[in-house]
């Protein structure tokens, strides 16, 4: 009974993070904001839901596989998000109009003219 | 109590998948679609985990591991493709 309460609490917390992250994917103005929202929020939500399965099923049933999945989610999600964001910037995707800073502008001087036509689809 | 919460969880995850599919179809640039596919993989893993809780079995944990590895490798390959063009293995 006690572990059931913890399972439900972790499950609801993870659901909150995942739904908010996906709503940010729907709502945010440009690629970098969307990547920011989904990578952080859905990683946190997925880890909370995996912790809920770990609590509910017990150490004997899932054990090492749950810990492996949690560590893997924490390791790979920032790497993937960083790679997508860097590739999007190299490709010349425009920032939103109300962005106030562009720290990578000096590092990629050639992208602003040449690649801006590639992402009109 | 677990049964009720997992049913609500399936509905909310389906709504989250609808947001992801909207971005996958509409999304103005190609990196938007890559982000959407990455998020769809994450939400699918969460759905399998909720199903494990609902049924009380752990035999789908292998599917969780395989899906997370495939999602990561696919994201990295798509990012390399977006950055470099067709030949993703060139230095």
Dump pLDDT digits (tens) for B4-21.
999 999 999 999 999 999
* Residue in chain A lying closest to B9 (CA): A15
Cα–Cα distance, A26 to B56 (Å, whole number): 33
Of B13, B78, B80, give the one whose Cα is nearest residue A17: B13
Model pLDDT, residue A1 = 64
Residue of higher predicted confidence among B55 and A121? B55
For B18-66, what is each residue's pLDDT tens digit?
Answer: 999 999 999 788 899 999 999 999 999 999 999 999 998 888 999 999 9
Residue B91 lies in a domain: no
Q: Is residue B76 part of a domain?
A: yes
Domain count within chain B? 1
pLDDT score recorded for residue B89: 67
**Hey, are the CB atoms on A65 and B42 less than 8 Å from each other?**
no
Which residue intervals of A28-63 are DSSP H helices? 31-57
Contact B12, A15 (CB under 8 A): yes
- Cα angle value A75/A80/A82 (rounded, 5°): 105
Q: Which two tokens stand for residue B79?
A: 């990012």
Contacts A80 to B, Cβ<8 Å: 38, 71-72, 75-76, 79
pLDDT mean over A28-53: 92
CA distance A19 to A38: 10
If you average pLDDT over every residue of chain A, what do you get?
84
- Whether pLDDT at B90 is above 60: yes
Residue of A nearest to B74 (CA): A80
User: Residues A42-68: what's their mean pLDDT?
Assistant: 89
Alpha-carbon distance A105 to nearest alpha carbon in chain B (angstroms): 16
- Structural domain span for residue B14: 2-84
What pLDDT is stored for residue B44 in this prediction? Answer: 95
| Chain B residues whose beta carbon lies within 8 Å of the beta carbon of residue A59 | none
Q: What is the value of ipTM here, to two decimals?
A: 0.89
Give the distance from residue B11's alpha carbon to the nearest chain A alpha carbon, in angstroms: 10
Query: In angstroms, rounded to a whole number, what is the distance separating the alpha carbons of residues B84 and B91?
Result: 10
Which residue out of A3, A45, A83 would a mutagenesis test of the B interface target, given it has the greatest number of B Cβ atoms within 10 Å? Answer: A83
Q: How far is A117 from chain B (nearest CA, A)?
A: 11
| Phi and psi angles of residue B57, each rounded to the nearest 5 degrees, phi first | -120, 155
Check CB contact under 8 Å for A34 and B23.
Answer: yes
Q: Is residue B79 part of a domain?
A: yes
Which residue ranges make up each domain of chain A? 2-117
Interface-testing mutation among A49, A66, A86, A115, with chain B (most B C-beta atoms within 10 A): A49
Residue A117 has a pLDDT of 45
pLDDT at position A120:
46
Residue of higher predicted confidence among A59 and A110: A59
Q: What is the pTM of this model?
A: 0.87
Q: How far is A66 from chain B (nearest CA, A)?
A: 8
Residue B90 in any domain: the answer is: no
Query: What does the H/E/C string look like for chain B?
Result: CHHHHHHHHHHHHHHHHHHHHHHHHHCCCHHHHHHHHHHHHHHHHHHHHHHHHHHCCCCCHHHHHHHHHHHHHHHHHHHHHHHHCCCCCCC
Residue B31 in any domain: the answer is yes
């Amino acid at each position: 009974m006690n572990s059931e309460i913890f399972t439900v609490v972790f499950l609801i917390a993870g659901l909150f993070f995942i739904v908010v992250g996906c709503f940010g994917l729907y709502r945010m103005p440009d690629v970098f904001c969307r990547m920011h929202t989904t990578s952080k929020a859905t990683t946190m939500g997925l880890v909370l839901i995996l912790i809920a399965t770990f609590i509910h099923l017990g150490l004997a049933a899932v054990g090492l596989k749950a810990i492996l999945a949690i560590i893997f989610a924490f390791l790979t999600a920032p790497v993937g998000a960083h790679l997508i964001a860097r590739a999007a910037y190299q490709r010349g995707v425009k920032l939103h109009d109300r962005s106030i800073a562009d720290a990578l502008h000096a590092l990629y001087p050639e992208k602003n003219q040449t690649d801006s036509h590639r992402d009109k689809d | 109590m677990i049964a009720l919460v997992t049913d609500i969880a399936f509905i909310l995850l389906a709504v989250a998948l609808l947001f992801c599919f909207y971005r996958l179809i509409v999304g103005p640039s190609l990196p938007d679609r890559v982000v959407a596919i990455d998020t769809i993989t994450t939400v699918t893993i969460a759905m399998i985990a909720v199903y494990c809780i609902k049924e009380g079995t752990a035999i789908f944990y292998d599917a969780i591991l395989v899906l997370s590895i495939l999602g990561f490798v696919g994201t990295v390959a798509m990012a390399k493709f977006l950055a470099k063009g067709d030949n993703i293995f060139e230095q």
